[in-house]
Structure 1
Amino acid sequence: MKPDLFRRKAIAAACMCLPLYAAAQEVRGPLNVVVVTGARSEHSSFDLPAAIDVVDAGQIRDTQPRVNASEALAAVPGMVARDRQNYAQDLQISSRGFGARSAFGVRGVRLVADGIPATMPDGQGQAATFNLDMAERIEVLRGPFSALYGNHSGGVIQLFTRDPKGPLAVETSFSAGSYGMRKLDVNAQGRSGKLGYLLDASRFETDGYRAHSAAARDQAYAKLVTEPTRDSRLVLTASGLRQDDTQDPLGVTWATYQRDPRAGEIDSTDTQSPQRTLADRYNTRKSIDHQQFGLTWEQHFGADRLLLTAYGGNRRVVQYQSFSRGFQAPPTHSGGVVDFDRDFHGIDANWRAVRELAGGTLRATVGLELARSVDARQGFENFVGNTFGVKGNLRRDERNEVRSVDPYAQLEWERGAWVLTGGVRRSRVRFEVSDRYLANGDDSGSVDYRHTAPLVGVLYKVSPSLNVYASAARGFETPTLNEVFYSGTGGGFNFRLAPAIGKHLEAGVKAMLKPGVRVNAAVFQVRTQGELVVDSSSGGRTSYRNASATLRQGGELSLDAQLGAGWNARLAVSALRAIYDEGFGAVAKGSRLPGIPKTSLYGELGWTEQSGRFGAALETIANGRVYAEDTNTATPAPGYAIVNARVQASQQLGGWKLKQFARLNNLFDRTYVGSVIVGDANRRYYEAAPGRNWIVGASAQYQF
Structure 2
Amino acid sequence: MKPEHRAVPAAPIAPIAPIAGHVPPRAKKLASLLHLGVPGALAGFACLAGAQQAAPAAAEAVTLNPVVVTGAPTATESFDLPYSVDSVDMRANQAGNLGVNASEALAGVPGLVIQNRQNYAQDLQISVRGFGARAAFGVRGVKLIADGIPATNPDGQGQAATFNLDTAERIEVMRGPFSTVYGNHAGGVIQLFSRTGEGAPRVRASALGGSWGTTKFGIGAEGEKDGVGFVLDASRFDTDGYRDHSKTRRDQGFAKLTLNPDEDSTLTLVANGLRQPETQDPLGVTWETYERDPQSLTIDPLDPATPKRSYADRYNTRKSIHHLQGGATYERRLGEDRMQVSAYAGSRAVTQYQSFSRGFQSSPRHAGGVVDFDRDFHGMGLRWISQRALGSGELTLTAGIDYDRSEDDRRGYENFVGSTLGVKGALRRDELDTITSIDPYVQALWKSGPWQWSLGARHSRVSFKVEDRYIKTDNPDDSGSVRFSKTTPALGVSYALSPATNLYASVGAGYETPTLNELSYATPTTGFNFGLRPSTSRQAEIGIKTFVSDNARINAALFRIETDDEIVVLASEDGRTSYQNAGRTLRQGLELAAQAELTRTLTARASLTWMQAEYDEAFSSRGTTVAAGNRIPGVPRIAAFAELAWEATPGVTLAGEVLHRGEVEVSDLNNDHVAPAYTLVNLRLSAEQRQGPWTFGQLLRVDNVLDREYVGSVIVGDSNKRYYEPGPERSVYAGVSASYRF
Identify the TM-score tier after normalising by the shorter chain.
over 0.9
Alignment-derived partner of residue 597 in structure 1: 636
Distance in 1, Cα, partners of 2:174 & 2:137: 22
Matching residue within 242, 250, 262 for 1:229: 262
The reply on whether 1:493 has 2:495 as its aligned counterpart is no
Matching residue within 289, 297, 320 for 1:264: 297
Alignment check: 8 A CA contact 2:361 2:414 kept? no
Deviations 1:128-160 (A, max 9, x none): 000000011100000111111111142100011
Matching residue within 551, 574, 582 for 1:547: 582
Distance in 1, Cα, partners of 2:645 & 2:91: 13
The reply on whether 1:241 has 2:289 as its aligned counterpart is no
TM-score of the aligned structures, taking structure 1 as reference length: 0.94
Letter matched to residue 642 of structure 1: L
Taking only the aligned residue pairs, the percentage that are identical comes to 54
Matching residue within 550, 569, 578 for 2:604: 569
Alignment-derived partner of residue 651 in structure 1: 689
Matches for 1:313-392 after TM superposition, within 5 Å = 313-326=346-359, 329-392=362-425
Matching residue within 727, 730, 735 for 1:692: 730
Structure-2 change in CA distance of 1:31 and 1:279 (3 Å): closer
Deviations 1:548-595 (A, max 9, x none): 100000110111100004111010110110000001011000000000
> How many residues were matched structurally?
675
Alignment-derived partner of residue 444 in structure 2: 411
Distance in 1, Cα, partners of 2:362 & 2:703: 44
The reply on whether 1:147 has 2:185 as its aligned counterpart is no
Letter matched to residue 687 of structure 2: A
Alignment-derived partner of residue 636 in structure 1: 674
The reply on whether 1:514 has 2:549 as its aligned counterpart is yes
Secondary structure of the equivalent of 2:365? coil
The reply on whether 1:666 has 2:704 as its aligned counterpart is yes
Matches for 1:179-218 after TM superposition, within 5 Å = 179-218=212-251
C-alpha RMSD of matched pairs (Å): 1.4
Shift of 1:699: 1.2
Alignment-derived partner of residue 677 in structure 1: 715
Distance in 1, Cα, partners of 2:379 & 2:327: 10
Structure-2 change in CA distance of 1:264 and 1:500 (3 Å): same
Distance in 1, Cα, partners of 2:574 & 2:100: 26
Alignment check: 8 A CA contact 1:305 1:351 kept? yes
Q: Which deviates more, 323-332 or 357-366?
A: 323-332
Distance in 1, Cα, partners of 2:347 & 2:632: 35
Deviations 1:668-691 (A, max 9, x none): 110010011000111110110001
The reply on whether 1:614 has 2:652 as its aligned counterpart is yes
Alignment-derived partner of residue 324 in structure 2: 291
Alignment check: 8 A CA contact 2:168 2:193 kept? yes
Distance in 2, Cα, partners of 1:393 & 1:478: 32
Alignment check: 8 A CA contact 2:461 2:483 kept? yes
Secondary structure of the equivalent of 2:517? helix
Secondary structure of the equivalent of 1:675? strand
Alignment check: 8 A CA contact 2:73 2:444 kept? no
Distance in 2, Cα, partners of 1:92 & 1:328: 29
Matches for 1:9-158 after TM superposition, within 5 Å = 31-158=64-191
Shift of 1:536: 4.1
Alignment check: 8 A CA contact 1:241 1:289 kept? yes
Structure-2 change in CA distance of 1:327 and 1:78 (3 Å): closer
Structure-2 change in CA distance of 1:40 and 1:219 (3 Å): farther
Structure-2 change in CA distance of 1:362 and 1:40 (3 Å): closer
Letter matched to residue 649 of structure 1: A
Distance in 2, Cα, partners of 1:506 & 1:277: 47
Alignment check: 8 A CA contact 1:48 1:459 kept? yes
Deviations 1:611-649 (A, max 9, x none): 3x0101110000000000001000010000010011111
The reply on whether 1:161 has 2:200 as its aligned counterpart is no
Distance in 1, Cα, partners of 2:606 & 2:574: 39
Distance in 2, Cα, partners of 1:133 & 1:69: 11
Secondary structure of the equivalent of 2:262? coil
Distance in 1, Cα, partners of 2:348 & 2:576: 20
Unaligned runs of 5+ in 2: 1-61
Letter matched to residue 219 of structure 2: V
Distance in 2, Cα, partners of 1:697 & 1:559: 30
Deviations 1:140-195 (A, max 9, x none): 00011111111114210001111101121001111111000100111101111221
Structure-2 change in CA distance of 1:30 and 1:186 (3 Å): closer
Distance in 2, Cα, partners of 1:638 & 1:470: 35
Unaligned runs of 5+ in 1: 1-28
Matching residue within 498, 502, 505 for 1:470: 505
Alignment check: 8 A CA contact 1:320 1:337 kept? yes
Deviations 1:345-365 (A, max 9, x none): 001111010000011000000
Shift of 1:483: 1.3
Alignment-derived partner of residue 395 in structure 1: 428
Secondary structure of the equivalent of 1:483? helix
Shift of 1:57: 2.0
Deviations 1:328-376 (A, max 9, x none): 6211111000000000000111101000001100000001010000010
Deviations 1:175-228 (A, max 9, x none): 111000100111101111221111100000000111110000000000000111
Alignment-derived partner of residue 14 in structure 1: none
The reply on whether 1:584 has 2:584 as its aligned counterpart is no
Shift of 1:274: 4.5
Shift of 1:231: 1.3
Deviations 1:586-614 (A, max 9, x none): 10000000000001001001101453x01
Alignment check: 8 A CA contact 1:591 1:632 kept? yes
Distance in 2, Cα, partners of 1:329 & 1:73: 44
Deviations 1:9-52 (A, max 9, x none): xxxxxxxxxxxxxxxxxxxx994310110114211111111100
Letter matched to residue 497 of structure 1: L
Distance in 1, Cα, partners of 2:711 & 2:673: 12
Distance in 2, Cα, partners of 1:667 & 1:524: 34
Structure-2 change in CA distance of 1:60 and 1:483 (3 Å): farther
Distance in 1, Cα, partners of 2:574 & 2:406: 26
Q: Which deviates more, 491-500 or 365-374?
A: 491-500
Distance in 2, Cα, partners of 1:30 & 1:260: 45
Secondary structure of the equivalent of 1:595? coil
Secondary structure of the equivalent of 1:133? helix
Structure-2 change in CA distance of 1:276 and 1:442 (3 Å): same
Distance in 2, Cα, partners of 1:338 & 1:413: 50
Structure-2 change in CA distance of 1:595 and 1:327 (3 Å): closer
Shift of 1:327: 7.0
Shift of 1:58: 3.8
Letter matched to residue 531 of structure 2: R
Deviations 1:402-439 (A, max 9, x none): 00010000011000000011111111000000000012
Deviations 1:371-394 (A, max 9, x none): 000010000000000001000000
Distance in 2, Cα, partners of 1:351 & 1:539: 51
Alignment-derived partner of residue 174 in structure 1: 207
Shift of 1:302: 3.0
The reply on whether 1:533 has 2:533 as its aligned counterpart is no
Shift of 1:650: 0.6
